[in-house]
Chain A
Amino acid sequence: MLRKLKKHQFLFEELVKRDFKKKYKRTVLGILWSLLSPLLTLLVMRIVFTEFFGRTTNHYTTYLFAGTLVFSYFSDATNQGMSSLVDNAGIFTKVNVPKYLFLLSKNVSSLINFGLTFLIFLGFCLLDGIAFHWKFLLLVYPIVCLVFFNIGVGSILSALYVFFKDIQYLYSIFTLMLMYLSAIFYNIDAYEPAVQKLFLLNPIYVYISYFRTIVINNAIPDLVTHLLAFGYAFAVLLIGARMYKKHNQKFLYYL
């Protein structure tokens, strides 16, 4: 796969450039807006929920930001990824190129966006009175897992979207529900331990809690969290890769 990527490096670079330019419509405000929108979400949540949850949660701003940071990256990358095959049908029905290039290219522009938001997040940590420590370096682990998780979910969605156009609407309902289940603005401590365990079934919650444990608690997450973070990414990636392999030819009939 790496050798193929090398062979198509020029095409990949041009695709990344194209996706990036189109996403931001080559305006300064475009990039600014993509950074501003998570901040506005954060602001609204901070204002609305502080009364309910803020009093019992330490560093509530950072707590919220860790949640929206991870969730908005997930939501952006998978939604962009979903249309990667359909949008590029004009290309791969005419030239013989590996189809995952289009998905990876969309994921690169989402990752750049995430990187910028992450820098702002670090700035907010400082404002919130959190000192940087060496454990921050461990954040690389959930970020790498999350990148692969997003690629995996994106590949499943993009394959489904070729066959079923209503996936778009079903998925937006799904992400909304997932958002409420990811403990972005509330704290799960109020639930019984058994219920708390159920949250681990939600991959996004696992990634968010990894961030919070490092940043807010200044602690290293337990082994289970590490295994889950890796396992979820690996599982969806495997399913996605198999779907691409299986339907590689079938895509052509639908587009």
Chain B
Amino acid sequence: MDNTKPTVVLKDVSVRYIIGDFKNIGLKEFIVRKLSHNYHVKEFWAVDGVSFSLEKGDLLGIIGSNGAGKSTLLKVIAGIMNPTKGKVEINGNVAALLELASGFDGELTVKENTYLRGAMLGYTRRFMDEMYDSIIEFAELQEFQDRPFKQLSSGMKSRLAFSIASLVNPDILILDEVLSVGDGAFRKKSEEKMMEIIGRGVTTILVSHSTQQIRQLCNKVLWLEKGKQMGFGDPIEMCKQYEEFLRQKYF
């Protein structure tokens, strides 16, 4: 990794989504509607012209109301989606921790799911063999290792998800509201763990609805609204504007 270059550069990144009739209609219905010219698909820009750049060690907070395009933007940076327009430059390896609790398999045991998740996050088998015990210990699931995953409570599931994910060692870390999971005691533990990773000097991008948290942690803030970039810059200034915007919207 080249230390002099910015780690993340987005240039006029836009993502187009399609909505409308196309989902769940089936082939027969699709053909009928195509023939009768009754097939309508609308497009909208989920992310529209976002540009910014981050240096190594930056901690970017992304704020915005629901549906502002925050998660889509994270998917683009993580390489899961390609932008419809614009360019993304990434310098270093990325770990994206998005919606952690989903993507597990209810039929498999806790142990099997742990390995599968580790494989998804790009760990090696040897690494998983070494770390397995500490993952389970951190998640406090020692007695549940051979239980089917579906028998766990949702709190337990997110605890496990967090424990596996917290072993990532990337250059760029992407967090979608995963800073805190579980009940009080675990919440504190997980926050500390997250701080430890962020403290290593990785470039971090996080989405949060708590402006308090953003002010506390971030040195840069990106504010999105309906896909558009409302602002990028100093956290205190951005959060103030955002809170003002919310006040006007709801009161």
Contact = CB atoms under 8 A, between A and B. Distances in A.
Nearest to A17: B112
Contacts of A249: 81-82
Interface stretch (A148-156, A165-173, A235-243): A165-173
A22 B125 CA distance: 21
A167 B81 CA distance: 26
B30 A164 contact: yes
A14 B80 contact: no
A252 B80 contact: yes
Nearest to A254: B23
B243 interface: no
A11 interface: yes
B39 interface: no
B108 A93 contact: no
Nearest to A160: B27
Contact of A11 (B27, B82, B102, B120): B120
B1 to A, nearest CB: 18
Contact of A14 (B25, B75, B115): B115
Given A95-B96, A170-B27, A10 B123 contact: yes
A90 B102 contact: yes
Interface string B1-33: 000000000000000011000111111111000
B115 to A, nearest CB: 6
A94 B26 contact: no
Interface in B60-90: 75, 78-82
Contacts of A191: none
B107 A22 contact: yes
A15 B80 CA distance: 19
B124 interface: yes
A167 B107 contact: no
B79 A18 contact: no
A165 B103 contact: no
A166 to B, nearest CB: 4
* Most-contacted residue by chain B among A15, A96, A97, A252 (CB, 10 A): A96
19 contacts: A14-B112, A14-B115, A17-B112, A18-B105, A21-B112, A91-B120, A93-B80, A94-B96, A94-B98, A95-B80, A95-B122, A96-B94, A96-B96, A164-B26, A164-B27, A164-B30, A166-B28, A253-B18, A254-B23
- Which A-B residue pairs are the 8 nearest by beta carbons? A166-B26, A11-B119, A90-B103, A164-B27, A96-B79, A14-B119, A10-B119, A14-B116
Given A14-B115, A94-B102, A253-B17, 7 more contacts: A11-B116, A14-B119, A15-B119, A22-B105, A90-B103, A94-B80, A252-B80
Interface of B: 17-18, 22-30, 75, 78-82, 94, 96, 98-99, 102-105, 107-108, 112, 115-116, 118-125, 128
